[in-house]
Amino acid sequence: MQIKLFINGREYSGDIAPDMLLIDFLRANGYLSVKRGCETSNCGLCTVILENKPVLSCSTLALRANGLHVTTIEGIQEEAADFGGFLADEGAEQCGFCSPRFIMSVISMTRELKNPTEDEIKKYLEGNLCRCTGYMGQLRAIKKYLDIKSKKECSHEVC
Amino acid sequence: MFTIDKYILAENLEQAYELNQNRRNVIIGGMLWLKMGRKRIGTAIDLSALNLNTITEDEQSFKIGCMCTLRDIELNEGIKNYFGTLLNKAIENIVGVQMRNIATIGGSIYSRFGFSDILTVLLSLDTYVELYKGGIIPLEKYADMPLDNDILVNIIIKKDGRKASYSSHRLSATDFPVLTCAVSNKGRQWFVVHGARPMKAKLTKIEMSENPETEEIIAMVAKLSDDTPFGTNIRGRMEYRRILAEVLAKRNIEEILNGGSHAN
């Protein structure tokens, strides 16, 4: 079936099988940051942003993204590198396999929540499983990142 | 892994209904559960283009379109204002935001999953389902009906002023629940729902005083636990669930007596 969608602002079209999942369409087009972890819709490793909402691309039919905009980490390199630096500083990365989707989820969170509390951060990021760490490094990195981000925004807005 | 021979974005409910009469065809909601099965689907029927992803509120009720995601419900201001944290308590433990941005309320309720948090909480409220051909029927009745080829179009929750409380027990955050429990109260009528037994949620209606004493509550939850069938699976044994059922029901009743997460 014919599909046309936008990945990181670039138009893609093709003739795909009706049961092709969005993750497979993305990977077939070279977006290899999007990975399969669990096959049970639980790990969050395949997270992409579909029309401003983080979704599991392993559980979304590619055809359901027809005409829509998909963002992967390849499309938000600057923001990703910014937060990635905080993760590295806190030693929060070990194997790094799940980092792309973790960064995608944190960026989605900052777009959705203003000044989240620690509980709100934890609640928002549940469903993002990391097998290496105990999440403490990530949490420290998020808090520092949000702190500096809010100070930067403050200096622009004269708080 | 499931397979799909053909995908159709339905143009109207009649078309979707006609297609759904063929037993190889399936209406896809969030598709999360379907995806993990091995069903060989003839035509996947998508209701995404029928504007069924809206929540409307009037003085009597909320009407939730079947294609609303669990996250839509979680974030809806009207629902938060009226029900407080009640519905969120039943939704927020379901995996994560990315999953709840996909999972639809129609898919969850149509499937009447044995592990369902959302079926449990909605059964404790004055909830109805609107079926395309079958009309509006109480959720309590729908929950016991076999899966059929009709289309669940809307979920209607009446604002009947009852107080309610929800709790669940999980071995770890975001896992399937070991047991779910919702209790609501209106006058002397108490509605107690136990779900993830690990069977489909079951509603029991009981007469009890509006402000029961502790002894009355203990006796009531013990009787309920005895009268409700529980089972064993990987997450817990029948005996453990029976004990949990008493504890969760008692906590919910106490929360209602202290104001409830949805006190009107």
Which of B2, B9, B102 shows the shortest C-beta gap to A19? Answer: B2
Contacts of B104 (CB under 8 A, 6+ apart): B29, B30, B66, B67, B68, B69, B70
Chain segment B90-138, per-residue pLDDT in tens? 999 999 999 999 999 999 999 999 999 999 999 999 999 999 999 999 9
Q: Do A41 and B101 touch (CB under 8 A)?
A: no
Model confidence band, residue B260 (pLDDT cutoffs 50, 70, 90): low
State the DSSP H helix or E strand holding residue B22, giving kind and residue range, or none if neither: none
Which of A17, A56, A128 shows the shortest C-beta gap to B102? Answer: A56
Q: Do B32 and A19 touch (CB under 8 A)?
A: no
Chain segment B156-181, per-residue pLDDT in tens? 999 999 999 999 999 998 999 999 99
Residues of A in contact with B7 (CB under 8 A): 1, 18-19, 61, 63
Over pLDDT 70: what percentage of chain A? 98
For the entire predicted model, the pTM comes to: 0.94
Q: Does B254 touch chain A (CB under 8 A)?
A: no
Phi–psi pair at B170, nearest 5 degrees: -130, 150
Exposed/middle/buried for B62, CB within 10 Å: 0-12, 13-18, 19+?
buried
Q: Do A61 and B2 touch (CB under 8 A)?
A: no
Q: Does B148 touch chain A (CB under 8 A)?
A: no
Q: Give the span between the Cα atoms of A117 and A99, in whole angstroms.
A: 22
Nearest C-alpha neighbor of B252 from the set B190, B189, B174: B190
Whether the pLDDT of residue A142 is over 70: the answer is yes
Q: Do A19 and B4 touch (CB under 8 A)?
A: yes
Same domain, A26 and A99: no
- Tell me the CA end-to-end span of chain A in Å, nearest whole number: 52
Nearest C-alpha neighbor of A87 from the set A45, A55, A135: A135
Nearest C-alpha neighbor of A53 from the set B91, B103, B55, B52: B103
Q: Does B46 touch chain A (CB under 8 A)?
A: yes
Q: Do B95 and A64 touch (CB under 8 A)?
A: no
pLDDT of residue A94: 84
pLDDT of residue A133: 84
CA distance A41 to chain B (A): 7
CB B166 within 8 Å of CB B182: yes
Residue A34: both structure tokens together:
């999007």
Model confidence band, residue A106 (pLDDT cutoffs 50, 70, 90): very high
Q: CA-CA distances (angstroms) from residue B12 to A102, B66, B150, B212?
A: 38, 14, 14, 50
Chain segment A31-61, per-residue pLDDT in tens? 999 999 998 999 999 999 999 999 999 999 9
Closest-approach residue (CA) in chain A for B37: A40
State yes or no: ipTM above 0.85.
yes
Residues of B in contact with A40 (CB under 8 A): 36
Q: Does B40 touch chain A (CB under 8 A)?
A: no
According to DSSP, the β-strands at A2-7 and A69-71 are parallel
Whether the pLDDT of residue B264 is over 50: the answer is no
Q: Do B44 and A64 touch (CB under 8 A)?
A: no
CATH number at residue A11: 3.10.20.30
B128 - beta bridge partners?
A: B138, B156
Region B26-50: mean pLDDT is: 96
Q: Give the span between the Cα atoms of B53 and B107, in whole angstroms.
A: 12
Domain containing A32 equals 2-74
Q: Which of A10, A40, A74 is the last residue of a domain?
A: A74
pLDDT of residue A131: 87
CA B180-B186-B192 angle, to 5 degrees, is 20
Chain segment B186-231, per-residue pLDDT in tens? 999 999 999 999 999 999 999 999 899 999 999 999 999 889 999 9
Same domain, A144 and A94: yes
CA distance B261 to chain A (A): 19
Model confidence band, residue B1 (pLDDT cutoffs 50, 70, 90): confident
| Residues listed for chain B | 264
Same domain, A99 and A119: yes
Same domain, A53 and A93: no
The DSSP symbol for B149 reads S
Q: Tell me: domain B53-158, CATH 3.30.465.10, correct?
A: yes
CA distance B86 to chain A (A): 16
Residues of B in contact with A111 (CB under 8 A): none
Q: CA-CA distances (angstroms) from residue B133 to A120, B84, B128, B260?
A: 42, 33, 14, 37
Task: Delimit the domains of chain B by residue range.
Answer: 3-46, 53-158, 163-257
Q: Which of A74, A100, A130 is the last residue of a domain?
A: A74
Among the residue ranges A95-99, B81-85, B241-245, the one predicted with the least confidence is A95-99
Q: Which of residues 83-122 of B touch A (CB under 8 A)?
A: 92, 95-99, 101-102
Exposed/middle/buried for B24, CB within 10 Å: 0-12, 13-18, 19+?
exposed
| Residues listed for chain A | 159
Fold designation for B163-257: Enolase-like; domain 1 (3.30.390)
